[in-house]
Amino acid sequence: MYDLVIKNGRIVDGTGSDAFSGDLAIKNGVIAEVVDANSGIILAEKADNVIDAEGAIVAPGWVDTHSHMDGQATWDPYCSPANHHGITTLVMGNCGIGFAPCKPTEDAHQQLIEVVEDVEDIPGAALAEGVSWNWESFPEYLDALDQMPRAVNVAAQVPHCAIRTYVMGDRGANNERATPEDVQKMADLVAEGIEAGAVGFTTSRTELHKTRNGLSMPGTYSEEDELFGIGAKLGELGKGFYGMVSDWEDDAWREEMEWMKRLSIENNCRFNFILFYQTDDQWPRVKEQLEFVRKANEEGAQLVAHVGARPVNVLMSFHGTVNPFFLHQNFAPLMALSPEERVEKLRDPELKAAILSEPTPSMGIEIADRMVTDFELMYELGEVPDYEQGADQSIMAKAKAAGVTPQEYAYDALLQRDGKAILYFPFMGYDQHNLDRQFELLKDENSVISLADTGAHCGVLSDASMPTFLLTHFVRDREGEKFSIEEAVKLHARDTARAVSLEDRGTLEPGMRADINIIDLDSLTLGAPEIIYDLPAGGKRMFQKATGYRYTLVAGEVIMRDGVETDAMPGQLVRGAQPPPAQEWQPAGC
């Protein structure tokens, strides 16, 4: 009767219900039956294949709501490193950034590549070589994704940057005000994308997203008529959600939250927004925003705050994009060398003295300047990465204890592990030197775990590991407050799936998609991030693996076994919102 049975596992079904020992049967890519071990029912006798999950938890596959795989998904069927962390569905097109629609010219292609390279730190050469550009419209982009065999599932959102540039050309790129005709054309393009299978629309309103010419990303300053013109189209269609990132500066955040609420209610659509803070004095604002969301949702809005399991951070290394010395004149020439040659040069006492003797440079950009001066928020990440370290473990504190400058301590620390060592710099939201506030954000009933930025910030970030971190740290190892395994699985499976309108996955119930992780929680371990050079054109990225995922299944087929890819390609392009299975569902042949 069944294609596969997973037996003897500790089933954590994603609903938040208590875990139990039992078996799970799969037929035609969906879950056919789930039974408690005490039921006396033996499913394995009715299966063509059996996986013994003794000693492991059996959980739904993780749903990544915030990725930037828009380019990589066109050449990488695994969307690595997502597959190494149990992610079976990822949603891309976030922050208003993407590759469709796009005029079929080299200049238009390059314009979008430069935005993605500048804003998301994805190597432009890798995108230029890896992206095929066999599309112009957003539906054609979806068709290109659909035609490619893949291991994991992907879903796409229509990006504001691309449609604004497509409709308005340089006027759109320069953030000039859209005319009524421009707004209508953009809304029609969004509708075209939603009808073809996009799950939503996204825009960026943060000044952190700058292009190489110093301009904010297209759409950053869009007026209300443009934002609501697109929102009204979602309301007319009755499908698709709105997504946004913003700075929430000063008192303007209240006005912004008010129009988000109004847009959501008027158009009966979900509004996903990124919620973060930079310093202690902004924490009260975050609390007020969450209270606003609670009240707005009681009034009929559908606001969802997307928050991270870790603060916004940068991973520093001598081989990545940044380190405390990347602005120094004596360091800059080393980036033209091979990694091995660079490390050899950096070990030279004379070069070290020359770099350390330079006055601390300044770019006049706050975050860049903090990367070379803020040693109170820099930490050695370690071979077993530690993302929650106290003030006494900072580079500043260790340097004082060692009787050296923080620059010298950081320099020597980065040379550890043959120059592959990492400094962790949580530059937003870590003033308390702990993750108590992240825990509070994740616990809020109107938030969802997000912000992995999978596929982006290649030289400085590897937060695709968030689901693994959630289990290893917030469930198993943390000394402070923790989540139960049931809470954590629900956070990164059911809740994330519902936030992006995918109700056919995220729980282990009959009729749901058989996207499943089988995990040895006791031995689950995050590897140390390191720079590798496996993108097209030899592009580099920060890469982090995990051990402890025995199996990851998509649609009932094993795509990962003990951290190694199989040849199975059961993944799909997810076209639009997915309804839950019918209550009376039965597997074929039963």
Amino acid at position 282, single letter: Q
Report if residue 488 sits inside a domain: no
Same structural domain for residues 328 and 446?
no
DSSP state of 38: G
* Tokens standing for residue 517: 């992780």
DSSP state of 133: -
Q: In Å, how far are 223, 325, 360, 386 from 423, measured between CA atoms?
A: 40, 12, 18, 11
Same structural domain for residues 308 and 367?
no
Same structural domain for residues 248 and 362?
no
* Tokens standing for residue 198: 């996009």
Cα separation, 171 vs 558, in Å, equals: 48
Same structural domain for residues 267 and 158?
yes
Report if residue 478 sits inside a domain: no
Same structural domain for residues 354 and 229?
no
Same structural domain for residues 131 and 188?
yes
Q: Return phi, psi of residue 531, to 5°.
A: -80, 130
DSSP state of 384: T
Question: 234, 243, 298, 305: which is closest to 269 by C-alpha?
Answer: 234
Q: In Å, how far are 12, 487, 491 from 475, measured between CA atoms?
A: 13, 9, 12
Report if residue 386 sits inside a domain: yes
pTM for this entry = 0.95
Beta-bridge partners for 531: 542
Identify the helix (H) or strand (E) that includes residue 50.
strand 47-52
* Tokens standing for residue 342: 């660079």
Q: Return phi, psi of residue 317, to 5°.
A: -155, 165
Q: How many residues does the chain have?
A: 590
Same structural domain for residues 308 and 209?
yes
What DSSP assignment string belongs to 492-524? HTHHHHHHTTBTTSSS-STTSB--EEEE-TTT-
Same structural domain for residues 209 and 334?
no
Question: 440, 451, 430: which is closest to 388 by C-alpha?
Answer: 430
Same structural domain for residues 376 and 242?
no
Pairing of strands 62-64, 87-92: parallel
Please tell me whether residue 4 adopts helix, strand or coil conformation: strand
Cα separation, 259 vs 407, in Å, equals: 46
Cα separation, 221 vs 385, in Å, equals: 39
Strands, E assignment, 113-255: 153-159, 200-205, 241-246
pLDDT tens figures, 7-40: 999 999 999 999 999 999 999 999 999 999 999 8
Range of the domain at 297: 63-313+435-460
pLDDT along the chain (590 residues), means of 10: 97 98 97 94 91 98 97 97 98 97 96 90 94 97 98 98 96 94 98 98 89 82 96 97 92 93 98 93 95 98 97 95 94 94 97 95 83 96 96 98 98 96 96 96 97 93 96 97 98 98 98 98 97 95 97 98 98 97 55
Same structural domain for residues 406 and 308?
no
Cα separation, 21 vs 40, in Å, equals: 12
CATH code at position 123:
3.20.20.140
DSSP state of 391: G
Cα separation, 400 vs 405, in Å, equals: 7
Report if residue 538 sits inside a domain: no
DSSP state of 363: -
pLDDT (0 to 100) of residue 213: 73
Cα separation, 522 vs 55, in Å, equals: 9
Same structural domain for residues 233 and 360?
no
Boundary of a domain, candidates 382, 405, 428: 428
Same structural domain for residues 320 and 308?
no
Task: Provide the b/e sequence for 567-590 (b: ≥16 CB within 10 Å).
Answer: ebbbbbbbbbbbebbeeeeebeee
Question: 234, 135, 140: which is closest to 194 by C-alpha?
Answer: 234
Please tell me whether residue 400 adopts helix, strand or coil conformation: helix
Boundary of a domain, candidates 428, 449, 481: 428
Cα separation, 465 vs 545, in Å, equals: 8
Cα separation, 160 vs 230, in Å, equals: 10
Structural Rg of the chain based on CA atoms: 24
pLDDT (0 to 100) of residue 588: 42
Cα separation, 24 vs 26, in Å, equals: 7
Report if residue 300 sits inside a domain: yes
Cα separation, 501 vs 200, in Å, equals: 9
Report if residue 475 sits inside a domain: no
The tally of domains found in the chain comes to: 2
- Cβ burial of 208 (10 Å; 0-12, 13-18, 19+) is middle
Report if residue 10 sits inside a domain: no
Count the neighbouring beta carbons within 10 Å of the beta carbon of residue 237. Answer: 14
Q: Which residues contact 393 (CB under 8 A, 6 or more apart)?
A: 379, 380, 386
